Chain A
């Protein structure tokens, strides 16, 4: 036998390794970046990081190909041809900043709301929202309205936290886990780590999703529910639990507003509001003493049902009774839900029985004594170990807010919020419910700041941003009667409204990392047309100026007038702040930074630094001192360390104070960033045991949260089974109160502002002919690619280069469609073509594709005949941002009427087999445009890493 080759098995991986935070999606795992000869050799998960504990998904592992993507912008760009043609010339930063300052300065000096500043998946809302407020424009939001505001808002108004990112299931202890509407979603790696724990422990995992991909493939039970009907399914579970008296009444009485009295006085201004004492405290009925008592009096044993007389002679009924009467009605029985949801009644009954069994027969008792907010000591911590997680499959529907509220009500009935084995809050949550800060923007004045954050949570009509006639004050109509609780704005309506000049035209649209002319829009073709449409009278574009900041040559770049090129995540500072979307876990808050591990090899600048620089040039008060000098001369890193939102509370919680020895609250530490870098880029600190559970009612936790600056005061959070703010809007629709809706809006407000959750058919479904559009069409988010960020990545696109339309075999057979056939997908709005693939694991009345894979030809520096353009497609083309016209012609937005959430999963289509492919009738948009100025052709072959191999 010839000798085996001798192999060098201890070659050093790289010259050095640095720790930072991934940004290949919004999970923000900790990564270790190995660098050799100034290039990235390898990126792996950081073993010690609280989010991912050493693992790293496909997206994070593909970071090298994003760092070195040919689609990276090189220099600021100025449009020289017509908008949309992609004819841009490179300019210097001085000129670019000068142009932006001139445009923005003029706006600030005359009418600040003429600036619409909207950001995509940027994760720096703590800075951008504050900047908008300093500038003085109310026209700001990030992408949440397009994304999953229904989860956030329903959660914040119900429990002072939310699915999404303000909490997570207790994967260590849960015995029954239900996942609603999640294919791949926040939080990516923690969910994978958690699901493994469930399977190792034999905890049952039920996945409710119209499609059986990803996580649903490993679930014990997959329910292929009809899109938009999850609310009915949840109500049927609630019905069964109530009917069987399997409800945690003690939990309801102690921690929720279930015993609070609701005034029953139809026609009167107080109808449906809580009965309150003279000093405004909610009342309940003391069942032993048979009299009214304060809701905060813990010595009282409250009644949950009954009808009671108030001092003024009126009558009131406990929240629980109202809720029980509603959901015990036959309308909510499993038999009623079965036909609409596609989930058999027997299955619904079985799941209700399983939930009750696990919650009540298998409760967990931990040996952790704790003290509640009323000072009462509990010897142990008891948990009902059923848990839930839900995301955009619930959210992206016109009924999503109420469906998510239904889930929170179910959690309350099962006594499973922030208990061992249940779903638990992540600090800084819980916060007060209903939530506090109100949106600013009622008055906008030249040269003045807004005086508060642009986004917030209205408690009633007086908090809306509307004028005397009830017309919207914001460009996206957030916080108007069309979307009152628009906690995250409506990014998806900005372009349409600005183009229409409804409520008013704007001067400049400034966007960061928001691919609005492609996958971050509905009605993509129409959106592009609006961006280039001119006013015939003046010849000017209807949206006169567009500034766009991004790191890559995305579809939006061709539609900008001024392009500010960003760095990649490996080349800049960033701040994963508790003030923004927190990382961390229910047992330990955490925050993190990014810092440059590489220097950019081109003339690009971190967007946050650019934004701060613009703010200095504009002399925004928060960014310059009295002498007009920059407050944060060191740019974003300086702002991260030294900016205090309130005294002692800054963007980062770790190593505060001049000596770096304080956490949570403390003065600014100019060396804070260095401290983070020395600690692998993150800070975390465990919560004391006695403060971990029942955070909403835990004295130790509330005191801890106040001391850390997470909340203002240590007040308990009462879970809002009944959401009173909604009733205030309803009363306004009946003409009560100072601020009432225009006549045309009253019926909608009455219908949808029910303070208890409801279900109604998704609007698009109700508005179109079901015979002409019999199928639901949705997307699933792939695990290996994040939105349109993967198109330019050489490795990711080999996994998801072209997205087909998946169709149930039976549906396809009825339509004469074979696997691989081309089909038209036709909605009431438009049509687009796709290649059909057949499968079984999908709701029979649903077709679906992967999210955001299709690209416009030439975008992302892909060749114009890339499969993403020739065989892939974007479903957004057939989704309209407006519903079909009502009688009278008005077209409401295609959104949830409570929050304005874009209802993209309400889409209804038919599919038609295409005989021969007709290129001329292609519904794809025209070629993207010329390639970036001065850019080399992308390589036709990649041998990345060859240079790292040891010479033999």
Chain B
């Protein structure tokens, strides 16, 4: 059985903050992740029967669109989901070989493919379905929090964020240290009431979701109508008013 790391002072809890208020379900994050990781640290992400009757593939990030609520409160929700790099990651403790591990310094949960035997216990243990078995490679694959980007000194500093974060057209994804209350992501979570996905699973996910903001049903101090709707319309009165209205040009 693999162990979770000891807490070390100064250790980070890197993760993502995903804003459900503005995710428009475009799948940019999912495909850009697929593209980056296809040739990156965890390459390849195999695609099976890619041009056939039953195409499938290994993806680290998937966007689920569903409806929730009823009547006026009903909404369509776009929900991207990838590994939440949990503090108490059961995918780590269940791993028989040490292949699934959580880094001490930054909390990223990774697969050491050299040690992975493809038993898939981690996939069973993860309540979020964040780990996928690549049957061509014989190992588990999952979000690496772009470990090959975030510290990459060959890239400009502004680019050292996960691919999904840099590509999101609606700026619905944020990256940073959720263990530092002064970080931009922590402040965002505090300000917007960011929450854990399925907290009852007790895995203590590090990624947070920002709930949709309340919808504006009215518009500030705008009245609900311009006129009393029972009042009969008297257009001639308006025309008289308009006759007098001389306009500047």
Contacts and interface: CB of A to CB of B under 8 A. Distances in A.
B242 to A, nearest CB: 4
A61 B167 contact: yes
A840 interface: yes
A120 to B, nearest CB: 23
Nearest to B240: A305
A589 to B, nearest CB: 22
Size range of the interface on B?
A: 35 or more
B200 interface: no
A61 B3 contact: no
Nearest to B104: A4
A55 B28 contact: yes
B44 A214 contact: no
A193 B220 contact: no
A799 B215 contact: no
A8 B46 CA distance: 22
Interface stretch (A78-86, A155-163, A349-357, A536-544): A349-357
A11 to B, nearest CB: 6
A305 B27 contact: no
Size range of the interface on A?
A: 35 or more
Given A57-B169, A214-B24, A254-B249, A346 B243 contact: no
Residue from B35, B151, B152, B242 having most chain A Cβ neighbours under 10 A: B35
A450 to B, nearest CB: 41
B51 A45 contact: no
Interface string B23-56: 1111110111011111111011111111111111
Given A44-B32, A213-B76, A354-B219, A9 B151 contact: yes
Given A47-B158, A189-B169, A863-B53, A217 B76 contact: yes
Contacts of A794: 47, 50-51, 55, 57
Nearest to A301: B246
B29 to A, nearest CB: 8
Given A42-B39, A43-B35, A55-B168, A941 B47 contact: yes
Contact of A192 (B24, B103, B219, B249): B24
Contact of A214 (B3, B26, B39, B41): B26
A555 to B, nearest CB: 16
B57 A44 contact: no
A56 B28 contact: yes
Residue from A64, A221, A305, A362 having most chain B Cβ neighbours under 10 A: A305
Contacts of B98: 2
A349 B248 CA distance: 30
A886 interface: no
A800 B46 CA distance: 18
Contacts of A189: 169
B51 A941 contact: no
Nearest to A255: B249
B9 interface: no
Interface string B145-179: 00110111111001100010011111110000000
A374 to B, nearest CB: 8
Interface stretch (B81-89, B121-129, B201-209, B226-234): B226-234
A321 B239 contact: yes
B67 to A, nearest CB: 6
A192 B227 CA distance: 35
B222 A358 contact: yes
Contacts of B21: 199, 218
Contacts of B77: 217
Interface string A921-947: 000000000000000001111111111
A241 interface: yes
B52 A940 contact: yes
Nearest to B150: A9
A9 B147 contact: yes
Given A349-B225, A863-B52, A945 B38 contact: yes
A204 interface: yes
B238 interface: yes
Nearest to B66: A839
Residue from A57, A334, A352, A941 having most chain B Cβ neighbours under 10 A: A57
B24 A943 contact: no
A244 B235 CA distance: 10
A477 interface: no
B234 to A, nearest CB: 9
Interface string A839-882: 11100000000000000000011110111001000000000000
A9 B216 contact: no
Contacts of A860: 51
Interface stretch (A325-333, A646-654, A759-767): A325-333
Contacts of B153: 10
Given A195-B170, A941-B48, A176 B219 contact: yes
A196 interface: yes
B152 A353 contact: no
Residue from B38, B49, B74, B153 having most chain A Cβ neighbours under 10 A: B38
Contacts of B40: 945, 948-949
Contacts of B221: 357, 361
A795 B225 contact: no
Contact of A55 (B57, B167, B218): B167
Contacts of B224: 346, 349-350, 353
Contacts of A356: 222, 226
Interface in A213-243: 213-221, 240-243
Interface stretch (A245-253, A524-532, A561-569, A747-755): A245-253
Contacts of B249: 253-254, 298-302
A303 B104 CA distance: 77
A867 B51 CA distance: 10
A816 interface: no
B154 to A, nearest CB: 5
Given A1-B5, A217-B75, A943 B136 contact: yes
B217 A948 contact: no
B45 to A, nearest CB: 7
Given A52-B169, A221-B215, A241-B226, A865 B53 contact: yes
Given A216-B76, A795-B31, A945-B44, A863 B51 contact: yes
A840 B169 contact: no
Contacts of B3: 1
A907 interface: no
Contacts of A259: 247
B112 interface: yes
A349 B233 CA distance: 14
Interface string A43-70: 1110100001011111111101000001
B241 to A, nearest CB: 7
B182 to A, nearest CB: 21
A952 interface: yes
A5 interface: yes
Contacts of A61: 28, 31-32, 34-35, 167
A494 interface: no
A278 interface: no
A298 B239 CA distance: 23
Contact of B26 (A192, A940, A952): A192
A940 B56 CA distance: 11
Nearest to B108: A7
B222 A220 contact: no
B97 to A, nearest CB: 11
Contacts of B60: none
Contacts of B59: 798
Given A250-B248, A938-B52, A941-B136, 7 more contacts: A4-B104, A184-B26, A214-B26, A352-B225, A938-B50, A942-B50, A946-B44
7 contacts: A9-B148, A10-B153, A43-B35, A240-B226, A249-B247, A302-B246, A841-B67
- Counting from the closest, the 6 A-B pairs by CB-CB distance are A945-B39, A945-B38, A357-B222, A948-B39, A244-B226, A192-B169
Interface of B: 3, 5-6, 21-28, 30-32, 34-41, 43-57, 59, 65, 67, 70, 74-78, 98, 101, 103-104, 110, 112, 114, 136, 147-148, 150-155, 158-159, 163, 166-172, 212-213, 215-227, 229, 233, 235, 238-239, 241-243, 245-249
